[in-house]
Amino acid sequence: MARKLTFNIFRYNPQDPESVPHSDTFYLEEAERMTLYIALTRIMEEQDPSLTFDFCCRAGICGACAMVINGRPGLACKTLTKEQPDEITLMPLPVFKLVGDLSVDTGTWFRAMNEKVESWVHTDKKMDPTVQEERMDNALAEEIYELERCVECGCCVAACGTANMREDFVGAAALNRIARFLMDPRDERSEKEYFEVVGTDEGIFGCMGLLACEDVCPKELPLQDQLGILRRKMGWTAVKQLFRLSA
Ligand code: SF4
Ligand code: SF4
Ligand code: FES
């Protein structure tokens, strides 16, 4: 017999002065292969058309549907209701600006973060469209691609103690971005230049290393390894700067 699911959903419209943060309860009969995205769509279509939540790809690719599911950040479209208890509590991701109900503005946060850590290849080489692309070693290209799989869903930031406490912390997604550029032979930044970007409390030294970020990352990025490598590299650059060794 199908389970009857209870959904406790956070409701609040920050644009409406009359709106007060509260939780609404909805009931739904569980269906085969039901995801939270399907459940929310059914609640919106059948019970409350004002329910606000984000989605786009419905396949774990765009990162739009991230929310806090029974206390843990995750993607609604990748979460099967059968993996959850009968009662499911859904909250918007913390840290990001609330748009309404379960919808948050991750885009503005990620744009600012990418600018802050200068998330692009730094090179003085001029692009020449007449020459062939430079080749990259396959194994290295794959290593870089592994880190490029981040979909900027914001789950790692929402789960991060430091990001919840301080607004200026760049979060695991940004540190992962820097780790990716450090690997890239086309990026001509020196260790000192990287240090200026992430060798601070807003960067790698603000990270407490408890790794909630890796636990919740829906793309299973190797954040633990990358944060460790970055911490060691930036620590070593700090020592070299202190003793005026070349960096
Ligand atoms: S390991 Fe660092 S980045 Fe990851 S959740 Fe903890 S403090 Fe945040
Ligand atoms: S690192 Fe993982 S959890 Fe963080 S934004 Fe990227 S995909 Fe989402
Ligand atoms: S809707 Fe795109 S990741 Fe869920």
* Ligand 2 pocket residue status of 221, Cβ below 6 Å: yes
At 133-168, the pLDDT tens digits run: 889 999 999 999 999 999 999 999 999 999 999 999
Per-residue pLDDT band for 241 (boundaries 50, 70, 90) equals confident
Residues contacting 116, CB < 8 A, separation 6+: 170, 174, 197, 202
Both tokens of residue 1? 């017999």
| Predicted confidence (pLDDT) per residue in 21-55, tens digit | 999 999 999 999 999 999 999 999 999 999 999 99
Please state whether beta strands 22-29 and 72-75 pair in parallel, antiparallel, or not at all (unpaired).
unpaired
Reply yes or no on whether the pLDDT at 105 is more than 80. yes
For residue 247, pLDDT over 60 is answered with no
- Residue 217 CA to ligand 3 center (angstroms) comes to 13
Is the CB–ligand 2 distance for residue 64 below 6 Å? Answer: no
DSSP one-letter code for 2 = P
What pLDDT is attached to residue 244? 72
Q: What angle do CA 18, 21, 22 make, to 5 degrees?
A: 115
- Global pTM? 0.94
Our answer on whether the CB atom of 55 is closer than 6 Å to any ligand 3 atom is yes
pLDDT grade for 89, boundaries at 50, 70 and 90: very high
Give the pLDDT score at 246: 59
Q: Which residue pairs from 76-85 have beta carbons closer than 8 angstroms and sit at least 24 positions apart in sequence?
A: 76/35, 76/36, 76/37, 76/40, 77/35, 77/36, 77/37, 78/35, 78/218, 79/35, 79/36, 80/33, 80/34, 80/35, 81/5, 81/30, 81/34, 81/35, 81/36, 81/39, 82/30, 82/34, 84/5, 84/36
Residue nearest to atom 4 of ligand 2 (CA): 156
Amino acid, res. 182: L
Query: What mean pLDDT is reported for the chain?
Result: 95
Q: Dihedral of CA 206/212/216/219: which sign?
A: positive
* pLDDT score at 58: 94
Q: Which of 90, 91, 67 is nearest to 78 (CA)?
A: 67
Which atom of ligand 1 has the smallest separation from the CA of 211? 1
Q: Which ligand is nearest to the CA of 56?
A: 3
Q: Which of 100-104, 133-137, 146-150, 223-227 has the lowest mean pLDDT?
A: 133-137
pLDDT band at 245 (very low <50, low <70, confident <90, very high): low
Residue-by-residue DSSP string for 39-68: HHHHHHHHT-TT-----SSSSSSS-TTEEE
What percent of the chain is predicted at pLDDT more than 70?
Answer: 99
